[in-house]
């Protein structure tokens, strides 16, 4: 949802309000997607 909202031209503050997340978290998601592409959307689950 974050990536789609960003591609749609929404600002970071608007996306943060939409998904109820911190603006820094939104920026991290967008930057990671820009660096890694679709692979960034695959969760890396680990045992714990």
According to the model, what pLDDT value does residue 44 have?
82
Residue burial 8-43, b: 16+ Cβ < 10 Å; e: rest: eebebeebbeeeeeeeeebeebbeebeeeeeebeee
- The count of structural domains within the chain is 1
Q: What is the mean pLDDT of residues 21-34?
A: 96
Q: Tell me if 9 is assigned to some domain.
A: yes
Q: What is the mean pLDDT of residues 22-48?
A: 92
Q: Tell me if 46 is assigned to some domain.
A: no
Q: Tell me if 33 is assigned to some domain.
A: yes
pLDDT value at 43 more than 90: no
Structural domain boundaries enclosing 12: 3-41
According to the model, what pLDDT value does residue 5 have?
96
Q: Rounded to whole angstroms, how far apart are CA atoms 24 and 41?
A: 17
**Residue holding tokens 């679709």?**
38
Q: Tell me if 47 is assigned to some domain.
A: no
CB atoms within 10 A of CB 5: 18
Q: Tell me if 18 is assigned to some domain.
A: yes
Q: Tell me if 48 is assigned to some domain.
A: no
pLDDT value at 36 more than 80: yes
Q: Tell me if 24 is assigned to some domain.
A: yes
Full-model pTM: 0.83
């Amino acid at each position: 949802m974050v990536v789609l909202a960003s591609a749609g031209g929404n600002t970071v503050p608007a996306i943060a309000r939409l998904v109820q997340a911190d603006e820094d978290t939104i920026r991290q998601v967008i930057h990671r997607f820009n660096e890694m592409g679709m692979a960034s959307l695959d969760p890396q689950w680990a045992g714990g």
